[in-house]
Amino acid sequence: MPSFTSLTLTPFDPNQGVKKQVSVDGRRALFKPLQCIDEFESSLAPLKLVAKCEWDTLHALVPSLLRCEVEIALEKLNFIWDHTYAWEMFLDMMKCQVSYTFSNTDLPSHFTDATRAILVDWLVKIHEMMHFQDETLYLAIYLLNRTLRLMTVTTANLQLLGIVCLFVAAKKEESFLPEVSDLCYVMDFTYTKQQVLRMERKVLNRLKFDLSYCPPLHFLLLFATVARCSVKVTWMARYLLEVSLLEERCVVFQPVQLAEAALRLARLVLKEPPTAEGEAAWCLVSSLHICNESALLSIMSILADAAATAHTRETCATYLKFSSPETMLVSRHPALMNAYLLLGVQK
């Protein structure tokens, strides 16, 4: 595998009336499994529990306050153009979760977890250098994960595959694109323009030009907005979520589950003083309850362990990215060093 080009990181630019009361027992009753008719995994059911749910009736079961808050948050985050279809968009985001996960963490025999982490770390640097949007990075890593399971790639072409996945993701998410010659430059001209374009055609054909993806970042920002999370909690959650990109173990989880775990761990690490409004808003978000407690703890343990050792790894691009004042120095927070202890997990 060719050596990756060293790059200098640039500063990170962040983007960034209850109608009726429902008792706890009543709220739980609202989220009992629905009548099974459709083929997808219910986002309101525990992890690994596959349900065929009648989503057309979900709007009648979810408390009106939660629906209202979700619609307001989607509009506030500029995820929608028309408030009329906000709730339908949220339902569609939840429906599509199963198609964005992988049944196992198996990789090609020559492509180890360590090799993947090095490649992803390098892509984080390239993404940062080109000032791409965050969605571009998440889509690129998702396309990389899919492509590795759909086509055979030699070790010598792994870097080429990575940059092509980033380039394809940029074509979907960005307004301005780099020239192909720029991509060759960041790879130290290890590959020619013709090789880049040829690999792009192969990748798109294997993906059948299906680039649809709802990144976990969208769920994280949505939940953080509804839960009235502070700016620092949101930055911490974003850091933990991006760290998950380096972890091959996380590909078996749904994006919405990763988002929930990152946000919960961020709150646990920072331990900000609770407020009545904040706790009520968090309770509202928690009513969705995407994961069962065991699965949630499993994801949080992976993230806590990764964050605790991030500063000692060679693959530390994400750690450096979130160690600037613009990101409130969240990756350097001392509580992350022993975050796994907060979960009651012995290392």
Compute the distance between CA of residue 260 and CA of residue 103 in angstroms, rounded to an integer: 20
Question: 63-100 pLDDT, tens per residue?
Answer: 688 888 999 999 999 998 878 888 888 989 988 888 88
**In the prediction, which pLDDT does 181 show?**
96
**In the prediction, which pLDDT does 171 show?**
97
**In the prediction, which pLDDT does 346 show?**
52
**In the prediction, which pLDDT does 85 show?**
85
Compute the distance between CA of residue 154 and CA of residue 171 in angstroms, rounded to an integer: 25
- pTM surpassing 0.85? no
Compute the distance between CA of residue 311 and CA of residue 337 in angstroms, rounded to an integer: 10
User: Which residues have a Cβ under 8 Å from the Cβ of 329 and sit 6 or more positions away?
Assistant: 322, 323
Amino acid at position 71, single letter: E
Compute the distance between CA of residue 48 and CA of residue 305 in angstroms, rounded to an integer: 23
Residue located via tokens 């202890």: 341
**In the prediction, which pLDDT does 110 show?**
73
> Among candidates 6, 9, 7, which has minimal Cα distance to 320?
9
Compute the distance between CA of residue 296 and CA of residue 267 in angstroms, rounded to an integer: 14
Instruction: Write the DSSP symbol of residue 15.
Output: -
> Among candidates 279, 288, 224, which has minimal Cα distance to 76?
224
**In the prediction, which pLDDT does 291 show?**
67
**In the prediction, which pLDDT does 72 show?**
92
The structure tokens listed for 217 are: 């970042």
**In the prediction, which pLDDT does 13 show?**
42
Q: Which of the residues in the chain have pLDDT under 70?
A: 1-63, 289-291, 344-347
3-state secondary structure of 164: helix
Compute the distance between CA of residue 302 and CA of residue 299 in angstroms, rounded to an integer: 5
**In the prediction, which pLDDT does 347 show?**
53
Q: Per-residue b/e over 118-157, b at no fewer than 16 CB within 10 Å?
A: bbbbbbbbbbbebebbbbbbbbbbbbbbbbbeeeebeeeb
Q: What is the DSSP string of 283-339?
A: HHHHTT--S-HHHHHHHHHHHHHHHHHGGGSS--HHHHHTSSGGGTTGGG-GGGGGH
> Among candidates 161, 142, 140, 141, which has minimal Cα distance to 152?
161
Question: 195-207 pLDDT, tens per residue?
Answer: 999 999 999 999 9
